[in-house]
Amino acid sequence: MVLAGSIPLLEKLQTEVQVVFEDKGAGVINRIWTPTPTNDTLDFYFDGGKKPSYSIRFADLFSGKVSPFNLPLCGNQIGGYFCYFPIPYKNGCKVVFRGKKLEFYQIQYRNFGKAAVVKTFNPALSADEKTALEKISKTWADIRGQTLSVANAQAFAVDKVLNPGESTTLLKVDKPGRFVGFEMENAQQFEGLSKLIDIKITWDDESQPAVYMPLADFFGYAFGRVSMQSLLAGTAKNINYNYFPMPFDKNAKLEVIYRRATSTEREEPLRIKAKWYYAPIPRNSNTEGKLYTHWNHDKNAAMGKPHVFLQGEGRGHYVATILQAQGLNPGMTLFFEGDDYTSIDGKMTLHGTGSEDYFNGGWYALLDRWDRKMSLPLHGSLDYSLPFSRTGGYRLFLTDKMPFKKSILHTIEHGPEQNNKPVDYTSVAFYYAEKAISKSAKPTNENTLVYLPDTMMVYPQLMNFSFNGQATINGNNFISTTGAQIRIDLQEIPDGKYELFADVEIAPDGAEITFWQRQTQVSQPISFYNSQKETKKKMFLCDVEISEFQNTLTLHFKNDKERNRLNIDRLILVKTKN
């Protein structure tokens, strides 16, 4: 369960005391997240105590300065601060905040029931606990495409050539046991906008595959390119890897399908080199499920309805999410304002505070926050692009996995509450169960093609600049003092011909500017001067052509000390059909 809170508007200036978490009986706090830590105090009251058993500055849960809340289990990246160090209690826990201001936070916990025997948190770890923490920390830091060490594991090597329009069985095992991991070489050969290569995994001759989706989506590629590099799955050193335990009762079949392209895209034979690691450890059906996935390509997601990660009836537990989110309107990624929601066995157990919050991040479109791809052991950003209006994230649920006995509904909104932002969502849900509880759509050329927008927008806050001459950039204002040249990097824009527009301000100090690509002038002199008052308007600037040799735009300011400013809200590139 998650206790989530947000007090963004009703802030009190004086120090106040707030109970931010409370639970009875035996349990554990297994995740704490915030994008807004403070130096105020958190008091932990354990086992019905009248006085705090432990106190810590809120920020020091994530700073790595106070043991045992050390890296990599605790830290901050992509705009979010996270703590995965478990805080157990045997007979209740209350957490009290003492400070001036508390904004966004999530506290995730599990209650073990009356019969559980739990040792209450003590920051002074025992020798065994220190050893366990060191081992976990090393594993988190080192797993990057390296095979897990499992006793008696046997490696099955595969080396096959696959042609377009063909499918092949990479491996078939006709005895019980489990896969403890697998790796596939040359990950870059599976990149591309069409995502024509599918992976299909079937346990025990079941009629419904446990895995059936584009191989790129299974390994956490983002919009057709290598991206994810998590603890248990992703890509590193040009090797795809997956180390989720995969037990089965009788047999396992592993296939790869290479669909033919329906466009003029060039098709090449693939060389599939892979290793599967098998261990003869039988599945305990009382305590273990089999690994299943739900692939959901939600094209132009329905208005008024959230995107579904997983919905179904049965017994199991949810362990991972991968999401690619492509906006269909150019501009800001406002679809990422949506909350995640989880209902377990018919009861709401989790309601999040925002989409990047779900992935332990925060503050999208801000420099060095959620502004590009970034991978951490349990979570990360797959991509972030304002020009493409797209992003994505992943999260592994290990100690915070979500068990269900009867049913699960796990969703995320596209836009706040109303689900009214046009978007394509492609998600992969990983879960364990006795059998599949949901059915994915079959991958087709139509539902796997990566969307490319015709209109791209570039905002000053995430532009890359180079200067020639004296100039300053202050927010949206480009100011020249000596006829400066300011070059804007457009490497993210796909090759092609575009009409260039801008939302700009014309003003009494508006400059005269020409636009260049390398040493070629691509516009006539354009004046942004208005003698009367500052006025916002959309202006056509010029035509530009983007290629690998020509992917910048340079602003040449006329040397005028009085009229030396250009205010740009955004550049707009509209692809032409020529």
Set out the domains of the chain in order of their start, with CATH numbers.
2-142 (2.60.120), 154-285 (2.60.120.1390), 289-441 (2.60.120.1390), 456-575 (2.60.120.260)
pLDDT in tens, 92-135: 999 999 998 899 999 999 999 888 999 999 999 999 999 999 99
Name the helix (H) or strand (E) containing 376. none
Cα separation, 333 vs 327, in Å, equals 7
Q: What is the pLDDT of residue 150?
A: 62
Element (H, E) at 323: strand 316-327
**pLDDT of res. 7:** 38
Residue ranges in the chain modelled with pLDDT below 70: 1-15, 143-151, 264-266, 578
Check: CB of residue 392 under 8 Å from CB of residue 383. yes
Residue 467 has a pLDDT of 76
How far apart, in Å, are the Cα atoms of 225 and each of 375, 457, 554? 14, 21, 29
Question: What integer pLDDT is reported at residue 9 of this predicted model?
Answer: 34
All residues at 6 or more sequence positions from 121 whose CB lies less than 8 Å from its CB, including other chains: 44, 46, 53, 54, 86, 87, 88, 89
Tokens of 14: 């004086």
Pairing relation of β-strands 477-480 and 565-575?
Answer: antiparallel
Q: Which residue matches tokens 């269909």? A: 328
Other C-beta atoms closer than 10 Å to the C-beta of 49 total 14
Q: pLDDT at position 476, please? A: 85
